[in-house]
Chain A
Amino acid sequence: MKPWLPLVTYLSLAAVAFFMPEYSKTIATIVFFMALGQAVNIFVGLTGYVDFGYVAFMAMGAYGLGVVLYYMPQLGFAALPLGLALGVLMSILLAAVVGGVALRLRGAYFAIATIGVNEGVKHLIIGANIWGGGAGLILGSRAFEAFGRDTALWLANVGSAVLVIATGFMAVVAMYLIQVSKAGYALAAIRQDEDAAKVMGINPTKYKLLAFMTSASLAGLLGAAYYPLGNLQVFPENVFFIEYILDGLAVMFIGGAGTVTGPIVGGALYIIVRTVVGELLPGYQVFVTALVLMTTVILLPRGIVGTLRLHLPPKLREWLP
């Protein structure tokens, strides 16, 4: 497997976002869906499990950076790496807790067990009135205090876009590292027959948890890049917006579950469809999402890249992971 095509794609997008700040926001919006599909793919694509509480990981990332910026703006620039680290850490911890318990269940049972996680964490924050509670965290003035006005605005615009792209980039690297290592073999076996994998001496829970935590940490980074950094606010209603997991699944399935390039293709196509529908039939975007998802799963179960790979000679297939 040669990961250069997706890596170069993300690098070029980052370059455009960096050198042409006027396009940063647009690029960030597009790449957000690619990176989301990419992160979802590491768990869903590699294990064959679906997590309906997935958006909670993005929320953890958003709150990590949000909380540090809101309560400790006096840290200055250190608030950024510290907040990102805290966000990723909280995502991983949540994944460890949810996964440690629920990943012992099989397929559909796991999906059902995770449904409540997203709403549960959201209502914990609102109900206990922690981290701004239902009113959320408004970070504009705090970011100005921490980074200075101009830098804060640059970070919200260009910085956030670059970080969203970097998340996609890191997801490709993670996917590559997993697939060339023995974890890739173990996950392939688990996906096809979990009991048989066990008989081979594979510990399924360990590898499912590995994929789950990796995926969650990337989702957390994405949440941090998009809400507190990009929008300078963290509202529970936004960061726990359950539809994002449907978006992530749609992007992944359109592109091709388990493929590395798939989410880039899927994300681009998905944005185009949604934009066109938004222009022609405003308000019907979510309806169309469901429609697109069903059509893909039925007509093109391997997704665009997955199907394309089937018809490529092995040499070229290497280049379209």
Chain B
Amino acid sequence: MALLVKNLESGYGKLKILFDVSLKVEEGSIVTLLGPNGAGKTTTLLTTFGVVKPWSGSVYLGDVDVTHLPPHKKVDLGIALVPEGRRLFPEMTVVENLALGAYVKRARDKVDDTLELVYGLFPILKERRWQKAGTLSGGEQQMLAIARALMSRPKVLLIDEPSAGLAPKVVESIFQALKQLRSEASVLLAEQNAGVALEICDYGYVLENGQIVLEGAAGDLANNEHVKKSYLGV
């Protein structure tokens, strides 16, 4: 087990968003979290990562209880987040963004190897490496955001809506790259775009109104009537 989330509850101020969310990500697998706008997908990732403080429940990385660790300690232990909207450092070059991704000591020692790895995954980033991140296209920025997160050598990668605002063709190529990640890290992917997500993932959860309403292997979910009607539009 790479990541285990048990009975997680959290929210903002007095407003509760997550109700008893439990999920798991097996070693070397891609798990997707489907759901409509406002279902709590981002909140699930942010609470798992520690940006939003959990109210109750627990988060395990492997066997280690990391529930109450702040984000910077979680990165050190091997969780990385690709935030919604990418959040690159626009005034820094591609290389500088990647270097910051390898900020934790554990990753800094391996920075050259990891650079090779992410350039292999996204060759366009190597071409653009001296360019400022703010001047990249949307798709390239999303690739950089994923690559930057990989620079910390995570065991578990949390990715929030990588398809947002991108052309279908670009989404396709990013998701193909994610598929190759399996050997490097386990992935928990929050997506609205159920079609592409179910194509590459092994297992999926459907989150509605802050609760997991459905889960199953990717193939089963793709054939589920509720998923078909609400998310795949068939």
**What residues of chain A have their CB less than 8 Å away from a CB belonging to chain B?**
182, 185-186, 188-189, 192-193, 195-203
Contacts and interface: CB of A to CB of B under 8 A. Distances in A.
A192 B103 contact: no
A199 B90 contact: no
19 contacts: A182-B103, A185-B103, A192-B89, A192-B92, A193-B87, A195-B87, A196-B89, A198-B51, A199-B80, A199-B83, A200-B100, A200-B148, A200-B152, A201-B71, A201-B72, A201-B75, A201-B103, A202-B72, A203-B70
Given A182-B103, A201-B104, A196 B72 contact: no
B81 interface: yes
Contact of B87 (A182, A199, A201, A203): A199
B104 A196 contact: no
B101 interface: yes
Interface in B146-163: 148-149, 152
B39 interface: no
Interface size class of B (residues with CB under 8 A): 20 to 34
Given A198-B51, A198-B72, A201-B76, A192 B91 contact: yes
Contacts of B148: 200
Query: What 6 pairs across the A-B complex have the smallest Cβ distances?
Result: A201-B75, A196-B87, A201-B104, A203-B72, A192-B89, A200-B103
Contacts of B70: 203
B161 to A, nearest CB: 15
Interface in B69-86: 70-72, 75-76, 80-81, 83
| A193, A198, A200, A202: residue with the most chain B Cβ atoms closer than 10 Å | A200
B99 interface: yes
Contacts of A189: 89, 100, 103
Contacts, number: 55
B13 to A, nearest CB: 16
| A185, A193, A196: residue with the most chain B Cβ atoms closer than 10 Å | A196
B71 A199 contact: yes
Contacts of A196: 83, 87-89
Contacts of B100: 185, 189, 197, 200, 202
Contacts of A198: 51, 71-72
B51 to A, nearest CB: 7
B57 to A, nearest CB: 22
A188 B91 CA distance: 10
| B72, B88, B92, B149: residue with the most chain A Cβ atoms closer than 10 Å | B72
Nearest to B74: A201
A145 B220 CA distance: 90
Interface in B129-166: 148-149, 152
A92 B70 CA distance: 26
A201 to B, nearest CB: 3
A210 to B, nearest CB: 14
Contacts of A203: 70, 72
B91 to A, nearest CB: 6
B70 to A, nearest CB: 7
A202 B70 CA distance: 10
Contacts of B149: 199
A186 B81 CA distance: 17
Interface string B21-41: 000000000000000000000
A193 B83 CA distance: 12
Contact of B92 (A182, A186, A188, A202): A188
Given A182-B103, A186-B103, A189-B100, A199 B75 contact: yes
A117 B76 CA distance: 36
A69 to B, nearest CB: 44
